[in-house]
Amino acid sequence: MPLYNDEAITLRHYDFGEADRIVSFFGRRHGKVRVVAKGARKLKSRFAGRLEPFHKVAIVYFGRENANLYKLSNVDFRRTRAAMSDELERFHRACYVTELMEAALREGDPNPKAFLAANATLELIARETRTAELDWITRFFDVRFLSHIGYTPTLDRCVACRGGLPETGQLAFDAAKGGIVCPACRPKFKSAVALSAGAAKFMAKMLTTEFGKAVRLKPSPQILREITSAIIAFRNSRIQVKMNSERFFGSDV
Ligand SMILES: [Zn+2]
């Protein structure tokens, strides 16, 4: 039976049978996988304490190719993020990030860019305690992650008429259509949310800025509110899952 090695982020686990656990990992090379960790709930298990979410780990697992459940052979820490659970605001954002990955990623579909975005985001969250910064990091992750899984919003022209956008003033974002609508097209899109030209430009910048520089790009509270409404509407239109973790932190939508 093939043996797989990967570097992975632990997403979640749940109990299975008498003493086992099923764990879901997002691997850099092989994408999301589900594995059964035999005996993981026994006191002396070799997996004990190593299957909690948010950590970066090295995993070895085996099973038939394209199986929907593999067997975990080994797990070692690469980067522990135990402090994530010490602080509630931070913990809820980390839960949100892993919950979104769990909901949106298909099993066995490698996506190294999404992996790097997720890992960089968890790293930033692990070092942060300020609410506004945590909100900003989470929204930055949303835009990048959605784009890496194939949902990139149209921000540089009107998504309806394809015309250019005014440099200033009020525009709108239509989640179902997937981008900005110009003032002329706006009346045709009743569900579009308001988005200023400044917030639209800022969102476009989020698509191209490296994670290392995200903290410096920090938006004003007004722009963060506007892009939050647009991003969450866009996410909900593409991923039909109720995000449980979201009710624990302040969002303006
Ligand atoms: Zn238009």
pLDDT (tens digit, 9 = 90+) per residue, 102-124? 999 999 999 999 999 999 999 99
Dist. CA 185 → ligand 1 center (Å): 4
Dist. CA 104 → ligand 1 center (Å): 30
- Scanning the structure block, which residue is given the tokens 């449980």? 244
> pLDDT at position 52, please?
94
Which two structure tokens, joined as six digits, stand for 81? 């993020």
**Average pLDDT, integer, range 237-250:** 82
> pLDDT at position 66, please?
82
Fold of 88-253: de novo design (two linked rop proteins) (1.20.1440)
Dist. CA 156 → ligand 1 center (Å): 11
> pLDDT at position 48, please?
86
Name the percent of the chain lying above pLDDT 90: 84
Q: At what angle do helices 221-238 and 131-148 cross, to 10 degrees?
A: 40
- Scanning the structure block, which residue is given the tokens 């199986």? 67
Q: Please, how many CA atoms are within 13 Å of residue 34, restricted to the half-sphere of its CB?
A: 15
Dist. CA 158 → ligand 1 center (Å): 5
> pLDDT at position 12, please?
96
Dist. CA 165 → ligand 1 center (Å): 8
Instruction: Answer whether 114's CB lies under 8 Å from 105's CB.
Output: yes
Which two structure tokens, joined as six digits, stand for 11? 């997403």
Dist. CA 24 → ligand 1 center (Å): 43
* pLDDT > 80? residue 76: yes
pLDDT-based confidence at 250, cuts 50/70/90?
low
**Average pLDDT, integer, range 169-181:** 97
In the chain, CATH 1.20.1440.120 covers 88-253
- Scanning the structure block, which residue is given the tokens 């959605």? 146
Dist. CA 151 → ligand 1 center (Å): 20
Dist. CA 237 → ligand 1 center (Å): 20
CATH of domain 1-80: 2.40.50.140
Per residue in 12-51, pLDDT (tens digit) is 999 999 999 999 999 999 999 999 999 999 989 999 889 9
Dist. CA 174 → ligand 1 center (Å): 11
Dist. CA 186 → ligand 1 center (Å): 7
pTM for this structure? 0.93
**Average pLDDT, integer, range 77-106:** 93
Q: Please, how many CA atoms are within 13 Å of residue 32, restricted to the half-sphere of its CB?
A: 17
**Residues near ion ligand 1 (Cβ under 5 Å):** 158, 160-161, 182, 185
* pLDDT > 90? residue 56: yes
In the chain, CATH 2.40.50.140 covers 1-80
Q: Classify 40 as helix, strand or coil.
A: coil
Q: Classify 161 as helix, strand or coil.
A: coil
Give the range among 112-126, 186-200, 238-252 with minimum mean pLDDT: 238-252
Across the chain, mean pLDDT equals 93
Distance, in Å, from the CA atom of 164 to the CA atom of 171, rounded to the nearest integer, reads: 12
Distance, in Å, from the CA atom of 91 to the CA atom of 86, rounded to the nearest integer, reads: 7
